[in-house]
Amino acid sequence: MKIIKALLAGERNPHVLARNRDEKCKNTAATIAKSLIGNYREEHLFALRQAVDLYEIYQAKIADCNQAIIKQVEKQPDISDDGPPPAEKSVQARDRLRDGIDVRDLLFKKSGVDLFAIPGLAADTLLTLASEVGFDLTPWKTEKHFASWLNLCPGTRISGGKLLTNKTKRHPNRATQAFRMAAASLHHSQTALGAFYRRIKSRAGGKYAVTATAHKIARIYYAMLTQGTSYVELGQQAYEQRYKERRLDHLKSQAKSLGFQLVPCTT
């Protein structure tokens, strides 16, 4: 955004523009400078300026919505007087602060659990969930009922004993959209949920991976709020090791059912 605003302010030197790159950007300033060499036509700059103006308007409206949600959340009774426990991974200020308010601390006081520990969930998605479903999830009998209400379960239709379809139903549910956004953000995450997302994507595609991962995040969210449990991150390696062990157990079971014995290769 700094590069775009510098362009709109009249700066055309690619090397000066490249200095404004985000510190987390993998490409060097020299590489970015090469991509900024071009003919900046007035009509394109006009369209860009219009897009930036709309972006800033929408961001301001989102901030207003977040502030309204925060005011409603603050009215809820405190469950915990303590602050959240130290995060295993540092939660950056941009992920937890909104209008100077620490959303992580606020949600911990109202829910009694650190919802920021769930990979993929940050301030905006958690505020959306707080406004849509709140912290009392007892209206949903089990996590399965909760996931079904969110339309994150297969929409199985059976007629005459025959499966007609198992596609997930489409539904304009804001809570569902928040969980799906959280799932999509885990594409490159080195967490257990990130590894799960990539495994499903390699097998069935990105669309199914988002739904399956959103389903898993929703179940974790439900369990934390209803049972008061904490989320413990296993990490990518631990998840892959457990998945490998499950596959091995399944192969052994199949071999045994066919009268064979699975023997590991020694070479």
For 197-254, write each residue's pLDDT tens digit: 999 999 889 889 999 999 999 999 999 999 998 888 888 788 788 888 888 888 989 8
- Name which of 97-101, 127-131, 153-157, 259-263 the model is least confident about: 153-157
Give per-residue pLDDT as tens, 54-80.
999 999 998 898 889 989 988 888 887
The average confidence (pLDDT) of the chain is 86
Quick one: pLDDT at residue 99? Answer: 67
- Ordered by start, the domain boundaries in the chain are 2-40, 54-233
Give per-residue pLDDT as tens, 112-126.
899 999 999 988 899
Look at residue 156 and tell me whether its pLDDT is greater than 80.
Answer: no
| DSSP class per residue in the chain | -HHHHHHHTT---HHHHHTTS-TT-SS-HHHHHHHT-S---HHHHHHHHHHHHHHHHHHHHHHHHHHHHHHHHHTSPPS-SSPPPPPSS---HHHHEETTEEHHHHHHHHHSS-GGGSTT--HHHHHHHHHHT-S--TTSSSHHHHHHHTT-S---EEETTEEEE-PPPP---HHHHHHHHHHHTTTT--SHHHHHHHHHHHHH-HHHHHHHHHHHHHHHHHHHHHH-PPP----HHHHHHHHHHHHHHHHHHHHHHTT--------
Quick one: pLDDT at residue 26? Answer: 85
